[in-house]
Chains A and B, each alone.
Chain A
């Protein structure tokens, strides 16, 4: 589903930063992968490259059999809007639009007919449990609700890949757990491939696969060591992970 072959990303500027260096990574359809690593290790850069928000300095990225290199800006956007849903740490909802309107944006941008958009938006809001808040503006929602809304927006066309960059980073522990449970639930029900960047080691370990980055390289790529029953609550002693 997602193939990276010796991908590097170098930021040229006053001082040159190598954010990713020769990363090889292969993720199959339907996997749920957590990405961990210290701040500045290149997690966001990795996600941005996979999501086509940025382009690699060298190496090859393939999403669902399509190479990203050489695509024009608009081709990249088309690929993104068909295959990828983004969930951001800071939600990135548009403040002047209601919950439902925010969810509808990607559908409008695709030029869907009104009626279909409305049906889909309702379906999505149901899915994330936000139906009662449909007419509210982002300002009137709690952090958790905002992230649910953002998730609904990311899911709008049920993309095969969901990319979440610290989706709980701006939420309290309890709400964060709820959001993770939701993502996990969606992953299972919809069968999407999920990449999630997190600092929460419990969350990371409870994913089937864990990729650890350090200084732009993959330090570790292994199975998660935790099973989960109740959302966000580990079954085994966390100490085991060390």
Chain B
């Protein structure tokens, strides 16, 4: 039997530019909210699955014209998962055309109109099953928790209460990167760069 095959893209939305944030940091940016938290800031509430869908479609049309939009129209589905609180999404697209979506995401620099905010879309995982995408999302969430806590500790902000509430979320140290900031890929440790500090 021939099956329709899909690819699931796990996407993070990153906000490298702190100035345009709609969410005001509790205090001055850079004081005690670590950069890693700002970088992975929550998306605004207006940003939802539908908007992301529109963004991808527009991006594909722009890059690949009617051909590309026709190719992905049948299979594209964002509603698999979109969490604005963590700026994470899982996008489903047919196996043949996931690169169109990927490139459209990569070329996006700004969220569309009602939000209108500079951002970076990072495709962190392409998988054949949603399960693997979910597992990766969990792994990354754990990593960012740990990183945030470590950063908070280092910047001597008391987050003791937070740490005690999420002991389960902190995983054992197999993927314990001592990275504080930046875009990391555990598969290719050489690519880790720390130059987005400033």
A and B from one complex: no
